[in-house]
Amino acid sequence: MMSERTEVQVRPGVEADLEALTDLYNHYVRETPITFDTATFTPEERHPWLLSHPEDGPHRLMVATETDPRGNSQEILGYATSSPYRPKAAYSTSVEVTIYVAPHAGGRGIGTLLYKALFEALAGEDLHRAYAGIAQPNEASVRLHERFGFRYVGTYREVGRKFGRYWDVAWYEKEL
């Protein structure tokens, strides 16, 4: 039996996405060192994060969705954000970007679609640089960032402890 092909859409994140976005993020909190959060979140705890990424401005949230073949519901396949790099005013033209793809959606180009949409949305903003910290090892993320013009700038060695061991974070930057 052939499965019906569906199309992936990328759009700004909205309030109705909060539970699914929280579930996706919590997977990475529980199962991987990709994020250094060590405790899962409730949607209520993640609500301020959602509100900090409006549809305009330099701090965005883009969501990749796929509608089921019957058109009944949209599944969130991943998301990408741009967030303040640091809280001090002089950093206001820099953003930190991040991306999370649902485990079952890897290898389908979802990350590429998300970053393409995110950087297109940021094109008119007063931004100078984007930064990405990638917990190591993570070759898929390194390849994605390099495809989008990020270049390696350095590694913080054993900067985070999770799952009983220390992890390095490689830092990448991109001119905007």
- What pLDDT score does 69 carry? 67
- What pLDDT score does 120 carry? 97
CA dihedral 42, 95, 174, 142 (to 10 degrees): -20
Q: pTM for this one?
A: 0.92
Check if the beta carbon of residue 170 is closer than 8 Å to that of residue 149: no
Least confident of 34-48, 57-71, 135-149, 161-175: 57-71
97 half-sphere exposure, CB direction, 13 A CA radius: 31
**Whole-number Å distance between alpha carbons of 55 and 59:** 8
Write the pLDDT tens digit of every residue in 30-52. 999 999 999 999 999 999 999 99
What phi and psi values does residue 2 have, to the nearest 5 degrees?
Answer: -85, 140
- Of 176, 105, 115, 103, the residue nearest 143 (C-alpha): 115
Write the pLDDT tens digit of every residue in 47-90. 999 999 999 999 999 999 997 666 666 899 999 999 999 999 99
